[in-house]
A = this chain, B = another copy of it.
Amino acid sequence: MHNDCHICRAEGFSARARVEVRAHVGGRSVLATVIRVKSGLLGDQEASLSEAAWARLSAQEGEEIIVTHADPVDSLGHVRAKIYGKSLEKEAINEIVRDIAAGRYSEVALSAFITAVADRALSHDEVFYLTDAMVSVGSRLDWGKGPIADKHSVGGLPGNRTTPVVVPIIAACGVKIPKTSSRAITSPAGTADTMEVMAPVDLSVADMRRVVDAEGGCIVWGGAVDLSPADDVLVRVERQLDLDSEGQLVASVLSKKVAAGSTHVVIDLPVGPTAKIRSPEMALHLVALLEQIANRAGLQVQVIQSDGRQPVGYGIGPALEARDVLSVLRNDPRAPDSLRRRALDLAGALLELVGVVERGKGKVLAAEVLRSGQAWQKFQRICEKQGGLREPVLAPIKQEVLSPTTGIVTAIDNRLLARVAKLAGAPSAKTAGIDLHRELGQPVEKGQPLYTLHAETRGELAYALEFLGRHKEIFAVEAQ
C-alpha cells in the first residue's frame, strides 16, 4: 500500500503489520504482511498482492478488497508456552498446525515455532501429535485394502535416485506402490525432477489412480496432491535456518506417508560427515524415534542406515541421474554399481516388509526381477501410462575437473558438490550437473579427471568454475 494512502494511515497499517485481506464480504481471506511504498507504483486506496494471494483470493484485477488488522493468532500462545519450557497437549498442537496450514503464521512466527521445536525439544507424545495434526490438515489418499508400499530417503544425498528403480521392482512383484516424490528445494535434483526427464510427473490424483490401477505403481510429483500443507509451509523457513530438528523431521516424513495412504515404508538413512545425518549417534536416536512414532501412527516402517559419505551413482542433476537410472534398469554393464546395490537393498527390504518373501530373501528376489528385465518392462509401462517414456539427452557444454595431485580419494564433500551442480544450472537446466569419475578409495593420478561439469550455458559453467576456484576441498586426494 502507498505510504500516504489514507486508509493505511487511518487504520495504522505500519510497515510489516499483519493484515487480513478479503476479496468481498464473506469471501475467502488471506493474511498478509504490509509493505508500504512511497513511489508512484500505487495510488491512494490501491493495494497490490503477491501471486500466492491473488490465487488464494481468486481476486480479479480492479476488484475491491477489504483490508483489516489481522486478529491475533491465538495459537502463538502455545508456541510461547513451548519456548517457556512447557509441554504441548494434542489440541494445542492441532491449533498451531491448523493456523500454519491456513497461512496465518508470519515468517517470524514460523521461525519461532521451528526454533522452539528444534533439536530434541519435542517429547514422543508431541512428535506423535504433530504427525497426526499434519495429516489431518491435508488431503489423504485411500488405495483400498492390501499393503501399500512406499520408500523415503532422508536428506539429499546427491545422486541418491533409487525410487525409479525400486518402484518398478516392487510393482512387478504385484505389490501396490503409488509413489509421490518432491521436486528439489535446495538440492540439484529431486526425484520428481529426475523422473520428469523420462516421463510426465505432473499428474492429478485421478490420473495417478489410473496409472496405479493399471500398473500397480507410479512415480509422480506430490505437489499437486496437497498431502501435508503445513509441512510445505514449514520447510521453506526450515531451509533458511538449517536447524536440525528430530521431531519435526519425523513428523514431516511420517505425516506424508500416512497422508499418501501407505502402510509399509522403508526409509533410507544415509549417514556421513556431509550428509544430513552426520553421526551414528544421531542415526541411532532418529531410528528409535521414527520406529516408535510410525508404530503409533499405524505404519510398518523399516529404517536402513546407508553409506552417506559420498554421492550415489555417477550423475548429479536431473538428466545425468536419469541416465544412471536407465542404465541400471537396462542392466547396462557400465551402470553405477552403487546405485544398483542401494536400490536392491531398499527393494529387498520392502519386499520382506510387506511379506512377499521371508526375511533374508528380499534382495535375491529384487535382483532377479531387475536382471530378468521385468523391472525395466514395468518401468516402461508406468512411463507410458504417465504420458510416454523419454530418453534423456546430455548437456551441450562439458568441462573436466582434474586432480591436482596423485593419490587416493579419501573424502568427498556432498554439500559442496551439490552447490556446484546447482551453480552449473541444475535442476532448472535439466541436463546440467556433475558426472563423477572417481569414488572414495579409488586411485587417481595428477591431471586425470575427478569429474566433468555439464552446463547449458557458458555463463553457468563460469559460475560453477569460479566457485570451484574458491573451494579446492571438494575432493580430498591424499598421496599414499
Contacts and interface: CB of A to CB of B under 8 A. Distances in A.
B119 A241 contact: no
A188 B240 CA distance: 35
A240 B83 contact: no
Contacts of A116: 115
A165 to B, nearest CB: 29
A112 B243 contact: yes
Contacts of A428: 9, 12
Contacts of A114: 112
Interface string A405-444: 0000000000000000011000010000000000000000
Interface string A279-313: 00000000000000000000000000000000000
Interface residues of A, number: 40
Nearest to A83: B118
A10 B111 contact: no
Nearest to A51: B38
A74 interface: no
A10 B240 contact: no
A107 interface: yes
- The 3 closest A-B CB pairs, nearest first, are A111-B111, A115-B115, A108-B111
A137 to B, nearest CB: 22
A236 interface: yes
User: Majority SS of interface residues in chain A?
Assistant: helix
Contacts of A9: 428
A359 interface: no
Contacts of A243: 80, 83, 112
A332 interface: no
Interface in A377-428: 422-423, 428
A242 interface: yes
9 contacts: A10-B459, A10-B463, A11-B463, A38-B51, A80-B242, A83-B119, A85-B119, A109-B241, A111-B112
Interface of A: 9-12, 16, 18, 38, 41, 51, 76, 80, 83-85, 106-112, 114-116, 118-119, 236-237, 240-244, 422-423, 428, 457, 459-460, 463
Nearest to A423: B12
Contacts of A12: 422-423, 428
A149 to B, nearest CB: 33
A286 to B, nearest CB: 15
A240 B459 contact: no
Contacts of A10: 457, 459-460, 463
B41 A41 contact: yes
A235 to B, nearest CB: 12
B119 A240 contact: no
Contacts of A460: 10
A108 B110 contact: yes
